[in-house]
Structure 1
């Protein structure tokens, strides 16, 4: 799709500096952009590369590009270039449209309710009492367990499995291979054998959540596992039974959260971190990559390390660890001198 610079600027609430009638047909990084492309720059070095490149127009923060007029490029000045480029990408590359209807060969129980505007792709199985909302998309190979609810405009990519009784809100996107509502990991030792504790709860995914590929989100043991509105979950994340994730949280790749931990809103957990069970993670907390969280984190807390401690303490420990080889060398030298009868005084 093609748009004039003025049309794009209007969509982005930006200001045009240059030729507003210039037609743009795509978006590309500065080093690979061609004539007719839009690029962006949010730092001085990126701006220099964009001005030297072939892109016809540049998205820039208003504060970054004073005095660049007349250098052969049309500018679109915006408040935040990264937000603007995300919106521009959605403009140039809208999500594909799926025709309404049910593909031949789909199995669906007669008690299920599929909105006429929904798209159900090939090889899907729809269980008893399932409800699928308006304009929802099941791309193919999806198994939807009995009694589940899938909201309006929700998209399930191929081979997503939704276990019985799951509740998925509106405008949710779930990527390929993810399992929603699988059994939580619950066992008790009974006469020398591990007896499974039946997992009879459910999972609730609120509106505007996105879940990456090959994630596993367990149902509650008795109550519900809950994923709050607007939360974004990366690939290969595991959430155990009865975990509660607040609104607008970010969970990066390979994060694992043990059972019954409760998170506030706007929490960020970086990649490969593990969170122990039955903890409370406060609003706007930040967990650094590869951390092992064993204690509660207060609102606004920032932790790193394994076991995780405050980011300031963790950085001090790292500095001290880096000094250990020199410290060991000095201690050995002192021990040698003491052993030879010399006094370490004056060191």
Structure 2
């Protein structure tokens, strides 16, 4: 595939390349309809795309947007290939347009440039082990005895605490803090403002005051985990807090001490997980769900947005509501609740007639 043309700068400062419609079709093994020389420089939704943009249409639900779109190239599913779209220069027919779009993103957008080396303002402590091709940004601090694996990128103002282990090909975005006791596997990405390994919320009431429980456990993040901005993951009190391989955690999530999250879980924004909860593999926790302490969420379970979970959730089940219960049961409860006002009015009329 040939990459042509001039560079452009997109939001976020990442450089973009250009692709012809013919190159797009070749890259995704699609069938081209229209001008093979149409050039795209960026990606945009159908309703906002211009002549230099690549877009996609995967569902008939949005086919009306194609009729008025001005996109240069549109990826379309086979059953939508003939959809009207006079303003579109070219269409590329593929079985899965969304997957094709994901494959094209790295061909259009360059990753931010990274130059291995240590910025002169960074502080490196005693006994620090840095692997090959490591980048340490401005004003980053790597404290005594820490280690950073090959190819990792420590951006500006990151703090890597004493004895912390960072694996290979990790990326710590600006302002991340890893407390002593944190341990990251390989290919972990942590976004700005996240805190990993801070003390959990543990106190005992003694002699008229809340006495702090010392935390000596670790915060362990396994391979291929991504952690969103301003998320906090507490270290264990005595046991470890563990985030399983391949799990993805959104922004503004709190994970309490001694929590164990399995592999390939999805934890969405503003979820709170209280201490010592155990979450098995493949669980989905939707936004603002709250999980009580010492509970067990079974493998593949799904917890709906804003659910309040105070007990165990069996494997494979979907729970919702407050307090959380099986989803269908929760829907029936809400349906009955919404009927309650009308039932009360009916009862009041019945009582009024009986009193007359």
Which TM-score applies when normalising by structure 2?
0.89
Q: How does 1:1-347 map to 2 (within 5 A)?
A: 1-62=17-78, 64-68=79-83, 73-340=89-356
- Between the aligned partners of 1:282 and 1:8, the Cα distance in structure 2 is 43
- Between the aligned partners of 1:187 and 1:246, the Cα distance in structure 2 is 27
- Between the aligned partners of 1:70 and 1:28, the Cα distance in structure 2 is 16
Cα contact 2:319–2:325 (8 A) shared by 1: yes
Q: Give structure 2 stretches of 5+ with no counterpart.
A: 1-16
Cα contact 1:40–1:50 (8 A) shared by 2: no
Describe the SS at the equivalent of 1:84: helix
Describe the SS at the equivalent of 2:91: strand
1:227, distance to aligned residue in structure 2 (A): 1.0
Q: Partner of 2:3 in structure 1?
A: none
- Between the aligned partners of 1:210 and 1:27, the Cα distance in structure 2 is 24
Tell me: CA distance 1:58–1:100, structure 2 relative to 1, closer, same or farther (3 Å): same
- Between the aligned partners of 1:306 and 1:234, the Cα distance in structure 2 is 22
Q: Deviations over 1:141-199 (max 9, x none)?
A: 11111111112221111110001121112221111111001111111122322221111
1:66, distance to aligned residue in structure 2 (A): 4.3
Cα contact 2:66–2:83 (8 A) shared by 1: no
Describe the SS at the equivalent of 1:313: helix
Tell me: CA distance 1:9–1:199, structure 2 relative to 1, closer, same or farther (3 Å): farther
- Between the aligned partners of 1:248 and 1:76, the Cα distance in structure 2 is 33
Q: Give structure 1 stretches of 5+ with no counterpart.
A: 341-347
1:77, distance to aligned residue in structure 2 (A): 2.7
Cα contact 1:164–1:181 (8 A) shared by 2: yes
- Between the aligned partners of 1:84 and 1:265, the Cα distance in structure 2 is 28
- Between the aligned partners of 1:83 and 1:155, the Cα distance in structure 2 is 25
Describe the SS at the equivalent of 2:80: coil
Tell me: CA distance 1:128–1:337, structure 2 relative to 1, closer, same or farther (3 Å): same
Tell me: CA distance 1:317–1:135, structure 2 relative to 1, closer, same or farther (3 Å): same
Number of aligned residue pairs: 339
1:106, distance to aligned residue in structure 2 (A): 1.3
Q: Partner of 2:13 in structure 1?
A: none
Cα contact 2:181–2:235 (8 A) shared by 1: no
Describe the SS at the equivalent of 2:233: strand
Tell me: CA distance 1:134–1:292, structure 2 relative to 1, closer, same or farther (3 Å): same
1:94, distance to aligned residue in structure 2 (A): 3.1
Tell me: CA distance 1:179–1:68, structure 2 relative to 1, closer, same or farther (3 Å): same
Cα contact 1:292–1:308 (8 A) shared by 2: yes
- Between the aligned partners of 2:257 and 2:75, the Cα distance in structure 1 is 44
- Between the aligned partners of 2:187 and 2:315, the Cα distance in structure 1 is 29
- Between the aligned partners of 2:80 and 2:146, the Cα distance in structure 1 is 54
- Between the aligned partners of 1:312 and 1:61, the Cα distance in structure 2 is 34
- Between the aligned partners of 1:13 and 1:283, the Cα distance in structure 2 is 37
Cα contact 1:17–1:69 (8 A) shared by 2: no
- Between the aligned partners of 1:314 and 1:101, the Cα distance in structure 2 is 55
Which TM-score applies when normalising by structure 1?
0.92
